[in-house]
């Protein structure tokens, strides 16, 4: 019988700190984007990805996965940092390319897209609430 390892609060606090650092660095590098969501909700992300969401980074289309749809597109560094930290194929170099042309980390998450193929992105969230519109389909 196997046991599931639940992250300790120290591990989750460290993950939240790291997610904040990724967001600050990426947003500051391009002088564009919003820091409020990724900084203010880092502990929420740690709890979600650490204790609550079912996901399998090696197979982002795993049938039994939970879907995280981010409607607040300008806060997209929130989801990019958590996808990177939770083991999806989103390398640090792509996180550093935030909001740059042809990167895996555009200003608003996009799926599916011929230009952006970011594992773990479930919907195009674009401006004006497109993300929540996808959530009700």
| 15: containing domain | 9-135
The answer to whether position 2 is within a domain reads no
The answer to whether position 1 is within a domain reads no
What is the number of domains present in the chain? 1
pLDDT in tens, 69-116: 887 778 899 999 999 999 999 999 999 999 998 899 988 887 766 666
pLDDT in tens, 17-52: 999 999 999 999 999 888 999 999 999 999 999 999
The answer to whether position 3 is within a domain reads no
Longest distance between any two alpha carbons in the chain, whole Å: 50
The answer to whether position 97 is within a domain reads yes
The answer to whether position 24 is within a domain reads yes
Contacts of residues 99-103 at CB distance under 8 Å and 24 or more positions apart, as own/partner, are 99/26, 99/30, 99/32, 99/33, 100/30
Q: Which residues contact 67 (CB under 8 A, 6 or more apart)?
A: 122
Q: CA–CA separation, 112 vs 33, rounded Å?
A: 22
Residue 111's CATH number: 3.40.50.970
Question: Whole-prediction pTM value?
Answer: 0.87
The answer to whether position 35 is within a domain reads yes
Hey, what are 49's tokens?
A: 């990805």
The answer to whether position 46 is within a domain reads yes
Quick count: other Cβ atoms within 10 Å of Cβ 37? 21
* 3-class secondary structure, 52: helix
The answer to whether position 4 is within a domain reads no
């Amino acid at each position: 019988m196997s046991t599931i390892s639940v992250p300790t609060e120290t591990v989750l606090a460290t993950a939240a700190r790291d997610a904040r650092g990724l967001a600050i660095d990426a947003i500051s590098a391009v002088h564009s984007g919003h820091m409020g969501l990724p900084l203010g909700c880092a502990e929420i992300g740690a709890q979600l990805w650490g204790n609550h969401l079912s996901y399998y980074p090696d197979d982002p289309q795993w049938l039994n996965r939970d879907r995280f749809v981010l409607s607040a597109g300008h806060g997209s560094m929130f989801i990019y940092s958590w996808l990177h930290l939770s083991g999806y194929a989103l390398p640090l170099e792509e996180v550093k390319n935030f909001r740059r042309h042809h990167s895996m980390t555009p200003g608003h998450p996009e799926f599916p897209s011929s230009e952006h193929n970011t594992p773990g992105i479930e919907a195009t969230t674009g401006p004006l609430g497109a993300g929540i519109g996808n959530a009700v389909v």
